[in-house]
Structure 1
Amino acid sequence: MTTRVIAVGGADAAAARLAACLGGTVCPLAQRRFPDGEHYLRVLGAVEGADVVLVAHLHPVDPLLVDIVFLADALRELGARQVGLVVPYLAYMRQDRRFQPGEAVTSVSFARLLSRSVDWLATVDPHLHRHAALSAIYSVPALAVPSAPAIARWIRAEVPDAVVVGPDEESGQWVDEVARLAGCPGITGRKLRHGDRSVEITWPALQPWRGRPAVLVDDIVSSGQTLVTALQGLGAQGLQAAACVVVHGLFEQDAAQRLQAAGASRLVVCNTLPQPGLPLIDVLGDLAEAAARLIAPRQG
């Protein structure tokens, strides 16, 4: 079967990498906006009978969501055998319950919308906090590729005597697995959030690790305030911040600069989002393997 990979909204490099890994080809896409802001999309290659994979960096997400929904519908009309979606970063996972009366639980709504549009989905380390798994909200096959093996390989090569540190309980699932795979101790703090840019972190006893390099690991960094606070607290207790490793670096405004100013001697990100100028940990190869597993059952 033919596999065609389409980059949506500027994900050209990721699409080319996935096409090479999948033994497929990139299918060109023309996209632009009409003067009133409406979306224009045109598939510029043959897709009839093909397994089509859409690739998108969902940040910022809202314009891309419209493109994905329209494209998936058009591809089926053009005869595609299946339409899958590869999103290294999966957006709209933050709102996983109704915290205040009347709030939209957008993680569920987003999952319903995508499940109606594509046949399967593959992503890297979605922010599964109150949802046990992607299958709890997605009705199509969905695979979450772990970043821990790739991050652990980087730590073993770059900071082999590290202490792996998570800033809060939510990061504990990554910290424990990364520390285990890297053969390093791991610790996590407890976070109390007072606002988008105001957090407080308390730490367990850190005396046994004083003098050892700390590698802070977190799944998503937006404003960067949590990691800034963590860096300040670790430094006050005698741990040297050797690096901050981030799975999904959104880095709003000056977040990356603030992290470096707070003491992060190295800032490293997984390549789930474009980050020019920052060292990258590759997870796209593992993501391509997940996509291949999702394509295969529909080729039989």
Structure 2
Amino acid sequence: MMIFNPDSDPALASQLTRLLDAQAGVLEQRRFPDGESYLRIHSDCTDQDCVILCNLFHPDERTLRLLFLADTLRECGARSVGLVTPYLAYMRQDKRFQPGECVSSRPFAKLLSSTFDYLVTMDPHLHRYDSLDEIYTIPSRVVQAAPLIAQWIQQRVDQPLLIGPDSESEQWVAHVAKLAGAPFQVLQKERRGDYDVSVSLPDLDSAAERTPVLVDDIISSGRTMLETIKHLQAAGLPRAVAIGVHGIFAGDAYAQLTEVADVVTTACIPHLSNQIDIAAPLAEAVRELLTDRDSH
């Protein structure tokens, strides 16, 4: 097996190479003066199972070179070409909200499905889709972050209390809490008018001595977490821990969050907040897909 890393996290690529007992593929990449990409593969990939690690955060900058690399690997005789992308882009636009809008999740899925033999990702944004199989036509594995987050909480947080910002988060928060062996509560909102909304914890007395832990799949603007932490502070709870699977941190979101909470993310998107390792389950997912492929 060979692992190629055109644009992503070198630390994660190194971990995957070791865990899969693979070779690191050697690439030469540069841009021509007109902005076009040059790519050359220096490794012999004949009859090799080739895996490309390409984190599709900022996808418009990375997708074209990713397609060039996959196509070149096939032309050079690769046995299979798979994609490992901890952050799968273009999943949020899953419906046409306004006439003429591009439902971008579908053409992006069609593009990747026509290029790769399989796909491995972590906790994609599945809102209106039940699974990736609804739009991707290649075998895929979704690695769940909940067990990794729960293990981190068990090891690092004394007396955690998981907090869900609203009723929509209850199922996700309850799952992580169960795995961590910790209690959870969901904030209750009482609306008395358009601009008169109060938020409270249903059982404040039992929460007083515990460390509040907020968990979300994506931290982008951070507004939801900041608003939730504000209510926790008003209730007199200790400093919170804010955990995100995908830490995007648009604008000054990270700076604002670190003022009021200890911020932790998985290693899906490289960031100084990364504390939760994801390499082992990603490697296992690649093994499973290749085993399935060989068995057929």
Q: Which runs of 5+ in 2 are unaligned?
A: 190-196
**Paired residue secondary structure (1:175):** helix
Matched AA of 1:295:
L
In the other structure, the counterpart of 2:90 is: 92
Q: CA deviation at 1:239?
A: 2.9
Matched, 1:285 2:283: no
Provide Cα deviations, 1:25-63, integer angstroms capped at 9, x if missing partner: 110111121112112111110111000000012121112
Which amino acid in 1 is paired with 2:271? Q
Q: Distance in 2 between matches of 1:8 and 1:238?
A: 47
The one-letter code matched in structure 2 to 1:290 is: A
Give, in whole Å, the separation in 2 of the partners of 1:42 and 1:170. 47
The answer to whether 1:205 aligns with 2:202 is yes
1:86-235 to 2 correspondence within 5 Å?
Answer: 86-169=84-167, 171-189=169-187, 202=199, 205-207=202-204, 208-235=206-233
Amino acid of the structure 2 residue aligned with 1:268: V
Deviation for aligned residue 1:78: 0.8
User: Shift in Å at residue 297 of structure 1?
Assistant: 2.5
When normalised by structure 2's length, the TM-score is 0.91
- 1:35 is paired with a residue whose SS is coil
Corresponding residue pairs, total: 287
| Conserved? CA contact 1:48–1:78, under 8 Å | yes
**Of the candidates 256, 263, 268, which is equivalent to residue 267 of structure 1?**
263
Q: 1 CA distance for matches of 2:288 and 2:164?
A: 31
Residue deviations 1:197-222 (CA, integer Å, cap 9, x gap): xxx89455242423321000011111
Q: CA deviation at 1:171?
A: 3.8
Tell whether the 8 Å contact from 2:106 to 2:135 is kept in structure 1 after alignment: yes
Query: Equivalents in 2 of 1:169, 1:63: separation in Å?
Result: 36
Counterpart for residue 4 of structure 2:
6
Change (3 A) 1:69 1:169: farther
Q: State the partner residue of 1:56.
A: 54
Cα 1:7–1:168, aligned 2, differ >3 Å: closer, same or farther? Answer: farther
Corresponding residue for residue 238 of structure 2: 240
SS at match of 1:117: coil
Cα 1:29/1:159, change in 2 over 3 Å: same
- SS at 1:240's partner residue? coil
Post-superposition CA distance 1:241-263 (Å, at most 9, x none): 431111111112221111022x1
8 A contact 2:267–2:274 mirrored in 1: no
In structure 2, distance between residues paired with 1:117 and 1:245: 33
Q: Is the 8 A contact 2:4 2:26 kept in 1?
A: yes
**SS in structure 2 at match of 1:298:** helix
What SS does the aligned partner of 1:111 have?
helix
- Paired with 2:166 and 2:92, the residues of 1 have a C-alpha distance of 15
Give the Cα separation in 2 of the matches to 1:78 and 1:173: 46
Alignment match, 2:27: 29
Q: Which of the two has higher C-alpha Rg?
A: 2
Q: CA deviation at 1:237?
A: 2.5
Percentage of matched positions with identical amino acids: 44
Do the aligned residues in 2 keep the contact of 1:47 with 1:78 (CA within 8 Å)? Answer: yes
Distance in 1 of aligned mates of 2:104 and 2:185: 31
Secondary structure at the aligned position of 2:114 is classed as helix
Contact 2:185–2:202 (8 Å) recurs in 1: no
